[in-house]
């Protein structure tokens, strides 16, 4: 058996993918579902467990798609990463509008967040392996800092929850999640955590490190740090020792780590502006650069016995979020399989490393 999950099992590592429920559905793309179940032993719903999906109308939870997904995963002996409880993005319209126009004030917002975490974590109690309790709370160094810092100077909390509730919402979220499912592993999840300090993305790693260290010292129930791993042929390119040192700093705090959303995007041809097609001209070297970044993260994970899982954010370019998200300049080709389900160098590299 040369499947990724069989290869990963030799290392006691779980290998996963985000799942696009439209492609996965019975009326979707049969090859997609077959591959999810053949290749992966942990899965994450790409969107179906986000607040906007679960509670589109205030007070009315729509559990159907998420329940079907989680139950199907359990039938297939896959562990589920729950994504996501507390995030500034993909909130239901009624909630973000209410916070923005002030009709939902601090006390009500806090009660709503508490209610949401309690309801969702209780609903899935016993079925979720790792929960992303707080996602992307820290700004990147190049962003305009919000007014609120938890300490340190290089990062700041992304506005929505921090500005509304104050920075203690992070600790609160973990406590509420623990109370609702004491057995699930509770993660802080973010991007640009692949390496420490370089005046660029690494400064965020330091800020997050200081934050989780403080949370641990305060007895806040946090079990792990998820490093998303959204890299590009132009971003990342760390060496494997930088990447493994970053994981080690977190695991030295007694935390688990996981790569939770790995993909490695490339510049694509731009029909509107042929001068920005840079490395898309040479597909072979583009694929090789993407494979290098996949290798660095996977190898670093294998070098750390507290690195529990390696999850890619989609496994085929056919359904990747990248082209929809990174349009100017256009990027794509971030997955292990291409849009025709053909293996790429990144896949060969992952297989060979496992």
- Contacting ligand XIL within 131-160 (CB under 6 A): 135
**Beta carbon of residue 23, minimum distance to ligand XIL (angstroms, whole number):** 11
**Beta carbon of residue 297, minimum distance to ligand XIL (angstroms, whole number):** 16
Residue (135 or 139) nearer to ligand XIL, CB? 135
The whole-angstrom separation of Cα 8 and Cα 14 is 6
Q: Are 39 and 315 in contact (CB under 8 A)?
A: yes
Q: Are 46 and 315 in contact (CB under 8 A)?
A: no
**Residue from 224, 213, 4, 197 nearest 129 by CA:** 224
Structure tokens at 243: 């990447």
Instruction: Measure the N-to-C terminal CA separation of the chain; round to a whole number of Å.
Output: 13
**CB-side exposure of 34: number of CA atoms within 13 Å?**
4
Residue nearest to ligand XIL (CB): 321
The whole-angstrom separation of Cα 118 and Cα 125 is 10
Write out the catalytic residue numbers. 136, 261
Structure tokens at 65: 């798609």
Q: Are 264 and 233 in contact (CB under 8 A)?
A: yes
- By CB under 6 A, residue 331 contacts ligand XIL: no
**Beta carbon of residue 322, minimum distance to ligand XIL (angstroms, whole number):** 9
- Contacting ligand XIL within 160-199 (CB under 6 A): none
Site string for ligand XIL, 219-248 (x = CB under 6 A): ---------x--------------------
**Beta carbon of residue 46, minimum distance to ligand XIL (angstroms, whole number):** 5
**Beta carbon of residue 162, minimum distance to ligand XIL (angstroms, whole number):** 17
- By CB under 6 A, residue 130 contacts ligand XIL: no
- By CB under 6 A, residue 316 contacts ligand XIL: no
- By CB under 6 A, residue 321 contacts ligand XIL: yes
- By CB under 6 A, residue 55 contacts ligand XIL: no
User: Residue from 17, 47, 78, 130 that binds ligand XIL (CB under 6 A)?
Assistant: 47
Strands 256-267 and 14-19: unpaired
Distances (CA, A) of 161 to 102, 147, 193: 13, 12, 21
- By CB under 6 A, residue 17 contacts ligand XIL: no
Binding site for ligand XIL (CB under 6 A): 46-47, 135, 228, 261, 321
């Amino acid at each position: 058996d040369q499947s990724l999950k069989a290869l990963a099992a030799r290392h006691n590592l779980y290998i996963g993918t985000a799942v696009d429920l439209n492609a996965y559905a019975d009326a979707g793309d049969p090859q997609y579902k077959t591959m999810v179940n053949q290749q992966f032993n942990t899965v994450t719903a790409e969107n179906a467990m986000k607040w906007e999906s679960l509670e589109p109308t205030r007070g009315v939870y729509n559990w159907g798609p998420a329940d079907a997904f989680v139950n199907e995963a359990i039938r297939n002996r896959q562990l589920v990463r729950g994504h996501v409880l507390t995030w500034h993005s993909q909130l239901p319209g009624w909630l973000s509008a209410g916070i923005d126009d002030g009709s939902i004030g601090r006390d009500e917002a806090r009660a709503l967040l508490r209610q949401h975490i309690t309801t969702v974590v209780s609903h899935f109690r016993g079925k979720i392996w790792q929960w992303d309790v707080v996602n992307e709370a820290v700004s990147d160094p190049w962003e305009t800092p919000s007014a609120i810092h938890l300490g340190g100077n290089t990062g700041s909390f992304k506005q929505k929850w921090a500005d509304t509730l104050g920075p203690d919402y992070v600790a609160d979220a973990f406590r509420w999640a623990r109370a609702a499912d004491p057995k699930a592993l509770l993660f802080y999840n973010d991007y640009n955590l692949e390496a420490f300090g370089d005046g660029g993305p690494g400064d965020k790693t330091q800020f997050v490190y200081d934050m989780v260290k403080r949370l641990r010292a305060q007895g806040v129930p946090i079990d792990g740090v998820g490093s998303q791993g959204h890299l590009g042929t132009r971003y990342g390119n760390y060496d494997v020792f930088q990447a493994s040192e970053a994981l080690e700093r977190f695991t030295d705090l007694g935390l688990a780590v996981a790569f939770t959303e790995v993909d490695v995007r490339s510049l694509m041809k731009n029909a509107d502006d042929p001068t920005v097609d840079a490395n898309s001209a040479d597909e072979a070297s583009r694929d090789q650069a993407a494979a290098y970044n996949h290798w660095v993260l996977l190898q670093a994970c294998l070098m750390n016995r507290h690195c529990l899982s390696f999850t890619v954010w989609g496994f085929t370019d056919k359904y990747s979020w990248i082209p929809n998200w990174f349009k100017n300049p256009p990027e794509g080709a971030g997955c292990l399989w291409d849009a025709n389900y053909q293996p790429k160098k990144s896949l060969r590299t992952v297989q060979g490393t496992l």
